[in-house]
Amino acid sequence: MAEPAPTPMDVQAFLAFAEGQERGRFELWRGELVAMAPERAEHVRAKFAVSRAFAAAIQYAGLPCEAFVDGLAVAIDAETAYEPDALVNCGERIPAGSLLAPAPVVVVEVVSPSSHKRDTSLKVDGYFSVATIAHYLVVILSKRVVLHYRRESDERIGLTILRAGTLTLDPPGMTLELAEFFA
């Protein structure tokens, strides 16, 4: 049986704890562990579809970026780390042993019944406190809708609600068909 995690904890202690777990996924919020609920098949399929769409768009545009489907954490501050369902990290290739995305530009959460409130409130503010993040996408499968939060030039956060069509993410300079998210 694993030892209970010390709380409160910082991001480094959290990463060490999370790496040692045989099962379960966690996030860290203000020094406290938050267990993530098991995922339904439709949720896992959506995460994979989004990541696959990002990978294709990155390759097509020839960008120095990588697409990831969950697993990598995004450090929000010293005591908060989220694990988005998908992300695009740009710049140098992330070292093989890294647990953190050093330069996330796009982060995605696929809404589940237990995460809707956090994904559309706390995480908006948290993700945009990270200087490299330009876009935060919230995918609502039940409505086939994507909420596209984006950093504006005057540091405001804009929101567009998308149901179909093309999604342009600049930076990093990619275009995707929204239908790919729901394939």
Domain membership of residue 82 (yes or no) is yes
Domain membership of residue 11 (yes or no) is no
Cα separations (Å) of 44 from 71, 103, 135, 147? 13, 24, 21, 19
What is the spatial distance between Cα 107 and Cα 71, in angstroms, rounded to a whole number? 12
Q: What's the sign of the alpha-carbon dihedral 40, 43, 46, 51?
A: negative
One digit per residue, the tens of pLDDT, for the chain of length 183 reads: 455 566 789 999 999 998 888 888 888 998 999 888 888 899 999 999 999 999 999 999 999 999 999 889 999 999 999 999 999 999 999 999 999 999 999 999 999 877 888 888 889 999 999 999 999 999 999 999 999 999 998 889 999 999 999 999 999 999 999 999 987
Domain membership of residue 164 (yes or no) is yes
Check: CB of residue 181 under 8 Å from CB of residue 46: yes
pLDDT of residue 98: 95
pLDDT of residue 183: 76
What is the spatial distance between Cα 57 and Cα 177, in angstroms, rounded to a whole number? 10
CATH number at residue 73: 3.90.1570.10
Domain of residue 175, residue span: 40-182
pLDDT of residue 1: 44
Domain membership of residue 3 (yes or no) is no
pLDDT of residue 149: 97
Domain membership of residue 142 (yes or no) is yes
Domain membership of residue 20 (yes or no) is no
Domain membership of residue 2 (yes or no) is no
The domain tally of the chain equals: 1
Domain membership of residue 23 (yes or no) is no
